[in-house]
Structure 1
Amino acid sequence: MESSAQPLAVEALSVRFGGLAALSDVSFTVEPGSLHALIGPNGAGKSTCLNVLSGVYAASAGSVRYGSHELTRLRPHRIAALGVARTFQNIALSPRVSVLDNLLVARHRLMRSGFLADGLKLPRARRERAEHEARVREIAELLGLTELERPVGTLSYGTRKRVELARALCAEPELLLLDEPVAGMVRDESAAMADAISRARAELGISVLLVEHDMTFVMGMADRVTVLDFGKRIADGTPATVQRDPDVLKAYLGAAA
């Protein structure tokens, strides 16, 4: 599917917490339809960057633009309305609720009938819910999720992470921000997640910016990689170029190549 996404341009982004500089003058661009990885050692500023992009943190300086929209002063719900969705390091699903109902939560901002009409089961609301449920089932099938009536808490860890990915996709984003999507997974689960992300990119035409520590996962999927260390950008390029960069090797291995 041809991408309808817009470029995400991060320019000279800085974030300070009191006297601590979490990010300093960081710049990179996520091209439409691409998978861009943001990597670096622990404490490099990766999650801080995602939190700025999604409106959780405020930037101290710099600019983040998605297409023609400046994001740095927008609240999270305003950024989401522009077509930006994200997942978090920790699973944030309702464990006692079914997979289907967890996914439908992401559709509420797209519904016209509202919570009251849906709760009263008015005819228009029932028709709209059926339409959204059909779309949710399509996205679940795309990611290999079949047990939609099961409570989320009864699923394996890797499957719950794919449910969280599916919920983000159910918001119909153009840009997806993924914070450590395969953290804590065994090899088979990681492979299933890689397949799910690849399917979503191909079928939905979205851009993806992901933060991840699993270098095998990153280098096998990313079109471009930006590397942070102590809040500063130390490298940006293709996976092959970044893997050979002396500053990257020093940051990860503690010695120059």
Structure 2
Amino acid sequence: MNDSPPELQVRDVTVRFAGLTALDGVGLTVAPGSVHALIGPNGAGKSTCFNVLSGLTRPASGTVRLGGTDLTRLAPHRIAALGVARTFQNIVTTEGTVADNLMLGRHAHSRAGFAASALRLPRAVREQREHRARAREIAELTGLARHFDSPVALLSYGDRKRVELARALCLEPRVLLLDEPVAGMNAAERARTAEVVREVRAGLGLSVLLVEHDMGLVMRLADEVTVLDFGRVIAHGTPDEVRRDPEVLRAYLGTPGEEDAA
């Protein structure tokens, strides 16, 4: 297991696009080793927040810090190198085998260099073997071991989504950003992915920030929940506290009467 990951702090982050405020003074803290869910209706600013955290969007103001390191103005590859990995809502690729895709995630840890790899020098061959062994371990952890040498295009939708997760884990992150990891899955696939997230969090000792519309999964997995609406934080607390918050019921979960009827 890794050492305890550093705290991820988002403070007063504001993002504007052509005069439209997508995030308005957003703040949250992902405690070391926790699962923190970021929820809200469509257009609330969740994806924009993830883009800020992964370096794809620069905020107009505010800061993002990982432990003592300021991530706010860093390029995406530097943020990834510091231990923040992200998955995306949509499957990025169906090319190659599962092993090929996971080895892409190991690229950031390569030290042999292009020339040594091309010439198949002993140290490059040894490093490649070590990376492949680590990729296989990640495949085992995420339930993909039996598909390790299979083409991604032949996998089920749920397994392809887990390839995205496994590839992010191959970066050896300290904080994992999961963007709707069970979107489009059936009930069995959602349950399996939820179990994988639990195992990953426990086995690798990392923190997870989760964007997800499946409220059942959020309530089962999250230690803390932050709720966005129109780019602003409207609630924060434990899953049980958030699901009873009147503002959350109004903005996202429906009115108290609708919830009781459901």
Identify the TM-score tier after normalising by the shorter chain. over 0.9
Q: Which residue of 2 aligns with 1:116?
A: 115
Deviation track 1:192-238 (CA, whole Å, cap 9, x = no partner) reads 11111111111100000010000001111000000000000000000
Letter in 2 for 1:101: D
Please give the TM-score of this superposition, normalised by the length of structure 2. 0.95
Deviation track 1:119-158 (CA, whole Å, cap 9, x = no partner) reads 3322111111001111111111011112111111110010
Cα distance in 2 for residues equivalent to 1:226 and 1:170: 27
Letter in 2 for 1:217: L
Letter in 1 for 2:199: R
Letter in 2 for 1:192: R
Please state if 1:36 is matched with 2:24.
no
CA RMSD between the two structures: 1.2
Question: Offset of 1:4 from its aligned partner?
Answer: 2.3
Q: Which residue of 2 aligns with 1:233?
A: 233
**Any stretches of 5+ residues in structure 2 without a counterpart?**
258-262
Give the 3-state SS of the residue equivalent to 1:133 in structure 2. helix
Give the 3-state SS of the residue equivalent to 1:63 in structure 2. strand
Name the CA shift for 1:67/1:122 in 2 (closer, same or farther; >3 Å). Answer: same
Q: What aligned pairs does 1:1-257 form with structure 2 within 5 A after superposition?
A: 1=1, 3-93=3-93, 95-145=94-144, 146-253=146-253, 255=255
Letter in 1 for 2:134: R
Question: Offset of 1:114 from its aligned partner?
Answer: 2.0
Question: Offset of 1:45 from its aligned partner?
Answer: 0.2
Letter in 1 for 2:231: G
Cα distance in 1 for residues equivalent to 2:190 and 2:176: 18
Do the aligned residues in 2 keep the contact of 1:36 with 1:222 (CA within 8 Å)?
A: yes
Do the aligned residues in 2 keep the contact of 1:35 with 1:224 (CA within 8 Å)?
A: yes
Give the 3-state SS of the residue equivalent to 1:234 in structure 2. strand
Question: Offset of 1:5 from its aligned partner?
Answer: 0.5
Displacement over 6 Å in runs of 4+: none
Q: Percent identity?
A: 62
Q: Which residue of 1 aligns with 2:260?
A: none
Cα distance in 1 for residues equivalent to 2:25 and 2:255: 24
Cα distance in 1 for residues equivalent to 2:204 and 2:232: 32
Do the aligned residues in 2 keep the contact of 1:108 with 1:114 (CA within 8 Å)?
A: no
Question: Offset of 1:115 from its aligned partner?
Answer: 2.9
Question: Offset of 1:3 from its aligned partner?
Answer: 4.6
**Any stretches of 5+ residues in structure 1 without a counterpart?**
none
Name the CA shift for 1:219/1:253 in 2 (closer, same or farther; >3 Å). Answer: closer
